[in-house]
Amino acid sequence: MSFTFADIPMQTGRTAIVTGANTGIGFEIARWLAHKGARVLLACRDGDKAAEAIAQIEYGKEQGGEAEYLHLDLANIASVRDAARQAAKEERIDILVNNAGVMMPPFATATSGCELQFAVNHLGHFAFTSLLLEKLAEGDGGRVVTQSSLAHRGADIDFENFNGSKGYDKQDFYGQSKLANLLFTRELDRRLRASGSSVSALACHPGIAASELMRHLKGGKFMSSIVGSVLNTAEQGALPALQAATDPDAEGGEYYGPYGFMEARGNSSGRAVQSKRARDEDLARRLWDKSVELTGIDPELAPA
């Protein structure tokens, strides 16, 4: 059965953080959570763009909906630490949506000299999530939702080339970062279950949706408009994350997405297809340990 916007439960009294929420899919996730009564922190690099986004949100004020800016630069571990400290001052955090990302940019490096896509899409979110797990656990049933992609299929983790010194194929590195998102989600949820935590970790993908992610592609703006009219709009692309974040029946460790036309379009329809590598527990554990090493941040969750 398809999950629609009408199926999103009221979020009154709950607090959510959405990374990359100033535009595209992230904005739609934040907008709908606020509309349903949640307090939403838009975790973004650019305060001016976040302010513009907040001004466009129609809050469910009668239910207590509101939105505020939280500065977060996922390419900078010091910024990640600062953002987590600030967020931890909230009375509660119920939902963390790791949505921000960069896709196929010119070569650059960030955290520990790692290639930018891996550093932002995976390492930044690994660190931010790790630092907020204690706060998420203060409530009952906190959720971590991480945005993956169809691009994880066919991808692998190249532990010998995180810095791109042995060659940089922007598409391969993007796929690697999205596979890392899925591996992290599954390993995080296993460890949370083993520790007896009430927090669960889920993953999702938007199908192929209009998004600012296409800005680094030649003709990206035109491509985004075509995608939005033929496949998914940014609003439709937000539904899998919203299902993972709010559906009472959504389960930890699962992966949500659309089923229409090779999972590329349509409303969220439940569990999506994960590649064999995404289900490799040994690979997930190895990536976990390497992520702790590269970020210097340890969630201190024993392996399941």
In a domain? residue 1: no
Report if residue 301 sits inside a domain: no
* Residue 20, Ramachandran bin (φ over 0: left; ψ between -120 and 50: alpha; else beta): left
Q: Kindly report the CATH number assigned to the domain that includes residue 234.
A: 3.40.50.720
pLDDT at residue 304 greater than cutoff 50? yes
For 132, the domain range is 10-294
Q: In the chain, how many domains are there? A: 1
Asked if residue 82 belongs to a domain, the reply is yes
State the catalytic residues: 174
Amino acid at 112: S
Residue 88, in any domain of the structure: yes
Residue 183: exposure state from Cβ atoms within 10 A (0-12, 13-18, ≥19):
buried
The answer to whether residues 30 and 56 touch, using CB atoms and an 8 Å cutoff, is no
Predicted confidence band of residue 109 (pLDDT cuts 50, 70, 90): very high
116-150: pLDDT as tens digits: 999 999 999 999 999 999 999 998 899 999 999 99
Q: Say how many C-beta atoms besides its own lie within 10 A of residue 265's C-beta.
A: 20
The answer to the question of residue 2 being in a domain is: no
Q: Is residue 303 part of a domain?
A: no
Asked, for residue 61, whether it belongs to a domain, the answer is yes
Q: What is the pTM of this model?
A: 0.92
Residue 4 lies in a domain: no
The pLDDT tens digits for 28-68 are 999 999 999 999 999 999 999 999 999 999 775 566 799 99
pLDDT(230) > 50: no
**Which of 113, 110, 126 is closest to 75 using CA atoms?**
110
